[in-house]
Amino acid sequence: MPNKPTISQEHLAYLHGKKLYRKRVVAAQILLLIGFIAFWEVAAALRWIDPFIASQPTRIVKTLISLHREGTLYHHIGVTVLETVAGFTLGTIMGTVIAIALWWSDFLAEVLDPYLVVINSLPKVALGPILIVWLGQGMRAIVTMALFVSLIVTIIGVYTGFSQVDENKIKLLKSFGASKMQILQKVILPASVPTIISALKINVGLSWVGAIVGEFLVSRAGLGYLIVYGGQVFRLDLVMASVIILCIAAALMYQLVIIFEKIVLKWQ
């Protein structure tokens, strides 16, 4: 049996230092969050800030418990998560497919380039009333809004990644008589994995923005609806509770993308 490679003491010390540093970073992050929440609670209790306007951690907890007892908390969370995941998935898949089509046809890329630039610079909120008229006041309009917000960014980002692949590798495959499909499979897609992963990370935030904006415009359920309703009836604790849930849900979704990235890179 071959001997296992020995690890030097210096390397072990380096690995130990890296682990210790990471633990210190996580501990500092947790302490910073706890300190912020404690200061927020004390500042509201001592009237340094108006708890009616800025809310208060204990009020937020009571609001979450109340929504839980009413049975509406998980319904609103589920609606928004479903809309966001649908928009995120469709935006990523469609954006990548369209980017492949643009890479495949230079003519198509040059024709669509100015339109992509204009649509990308257009505030997507302006499309909200149009989508409502076209698709009605339901989940379809909200999912489409989330799709539109992330679609163009995905197309531009992934297509740019395709265009930056080393030309020498493409020429090498062409010299061996490789077809365009083989070049796509063997060079373009493998080399663009980091670009596609980056697009996924960006789409997490954009999809949440699109879903919440859609719920602001037309919705009777979801976290965006709770935020609008809380603002209308001056229940800032409900607004802050919804925002905190959004932060947690977005962070969890981003972590899932990180896990997916590690799996893909390890497999690659």
Question: Is 28 a domain residue?
Answer: yes
Please check whether residues 43 and 64 belong to one and the same domain: no
Angle 209-114-102 (CA atoms, 0-180°, nearest 5)? 85
Question: Is 3 a domain residue?
Answer: no
Question: Is 68 a domain residue?
Answer: yes
Please check whether residues 44 and 110 belong to one and the same domain: no
- Specify the number of domains making up the chain: 2
Q: State residue 1's pLDDT score.
A: 45
CATH of the domain at 229: 1.10.3720.10
Question: Is 40 a domain residue?
Answer: yes
- pLDDT tens for the chain, 268 residues long, are 455 556 677 777 777 778 888 888 889 989 998 999 889 888 888 888 877 777 788 888 888 888 888 888 888 888 888 888 888 888 888 988 988 888 888 888 888 888 888 887 877 777 777 777 777 777 788 888 888 888 888 888 888 888 887 778 777 777 777 777 888 878 888 878 888 888 888 888 888 888 888 888 777 778 888 888 888 778 888 888 888 888 888 889 888 888 888 887 777 6
**Residue range of the domain that includes 182:** 59-267
User: Which tens digits make up the pLDDT trace of 177-200?
Assistant: 777 788 887 888 887 888 888 888
Please check whether residues 139 and 13 belong to one and the same domain: no
Q: Which residues, including other chains, have CB under 8 Å from residue 94's CB and lie 6 or more apart? A: 147, 151, 154
- DSSP alpha helix (H) spans, 122-188: 128-135, 139-163, 167-175, 180-183
Report pTM: 0.78
Please check whether residues 88 and 216 belong to one and the same domain: yes
Please check whether residues 131 and 35 belong to one and the same domain: no
Please check whether residues 33 and 127 belong to one and the same domain: no
Tokens of 11: 């390397």
Please check whether residues 68 and 43 belong to one and the same domain: no
Please check whether residues 36 and 141 belong to one and the same domain: no
Question: Is 4 a domain residue?
Answer: no
Handedness of CA 28, 29, 34, 38 (dihedral sign): positive
Buried b (16+ CB within 10 A) or exposed e, 60-74: beebbeebeeeeebe
Tokens of 81: 């998560």
